[in-house]
């Protein structure tokens, strides 16, 4: 959806603010929302494994960039995320190890990519599926439809909080900006909880504790 579709939720509270300034802060609010909530998650098309190639680019939608991988599968088997220290413990020769069935991954030093371990060798028609979190680019001129359908007011509040915090502007309003910041932060928490359940019914629960513990 286009940025001006958010304007009805913003313009009345920041009268006199130029459209380019609104757009910059609207996109910034959307970036913050998606970064903190991981609400924008998509699964890539299959990516063919290539012999001797460890790094694979996460293809991003238009006006977006990959923030982080969330899940990675290889022909139906889920790869395990590992830090470098964890890799060293389970795969001592992780830097040079090769194999036909990579079992681990982490984020590549190249942003927007993953690296699989061991490095593929002798692979035949194997493919990765990557579910990744995305965020808008700072230069985005559109935002995904679901942000408008489900988070329009939240992102508008985030934009207004930023705009109202600007000093010595006709639309400056620190007190109301603080209110909108609170609304924005609360919406991020709600979206983060929903995303933790993959937006399906369920609840996060803790193991019961014995009495007196």
Q: How confident is the model at residue 198 (pLDDT cuts 50, 70, 90)?
A: confident
CB 118 within 8 A of CB 97: yes
pLDDT tens, position by position, 97-147:
999 999 999 987 667 899 999 999 999 899 999 999 999 999 999 999 999
Looking at residues 35-56, what average pLDDT do you find?
95
Sign of CA dihedral 195, 197, 202, 206: negative
pLDDT tops 70 at residue 212 = no
CB 37 within 8 A of CB 29: no
Output the pLDDT for position 154. 97
Q: Which residues touch 7 (CB under 8 Å, ≥6 apart)?
A: 22
Q: How confident is the model at residue 85 (pLDDT cuts 50, 70, 90)?
A: very high
Q: How confident is the model at residue 196 (pLDDT cuts 50, 70, 90)?
A: confident
């Amino acid at each position: 959806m286009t940025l001006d579709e958010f304007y009805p939720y913003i313009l009345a509270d920041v009268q006199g603010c130029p459209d380019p300034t609104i757009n910059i802060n609207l996109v910034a609010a959307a970036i913050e929302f998606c970064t903190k909530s991981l609400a924008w998650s998509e699964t890539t098309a299959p990516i063919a494994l290539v012999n001797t190639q460890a790094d694979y680019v996460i293809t991003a939608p238009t006006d977006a960039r990959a923030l982080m991988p969330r899940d990675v599968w290889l022909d139906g088997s889920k790869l395990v995320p590992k830090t470098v220290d964890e890799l060293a413990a389970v795969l001592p020769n992780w830097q040079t190890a090769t194999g036909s069935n990579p079992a681990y991954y982490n984020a590549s030093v190249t942003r927007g990519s993953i690296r699989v371990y061991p490095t593929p060798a002798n692979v035949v028609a194997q493919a990765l599926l990557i579910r990744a979190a995305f965020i808008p680019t700072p230069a985005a001129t559109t935002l995904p439809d679901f942000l408008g359908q489900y988070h329009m007011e939240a992102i508008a509040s985030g934009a207004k909080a930023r705009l109202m915090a600007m000093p010595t502007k006709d639309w400056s309003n620190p007190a109301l900006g603080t209110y909108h910041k609170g609304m924005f932060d609360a919406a991020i928490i709600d979206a983060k909880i929903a995303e933790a359940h993959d937006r399906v019914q369920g609840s996060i629960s803790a193991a019961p504790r014995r009495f007196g513990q």
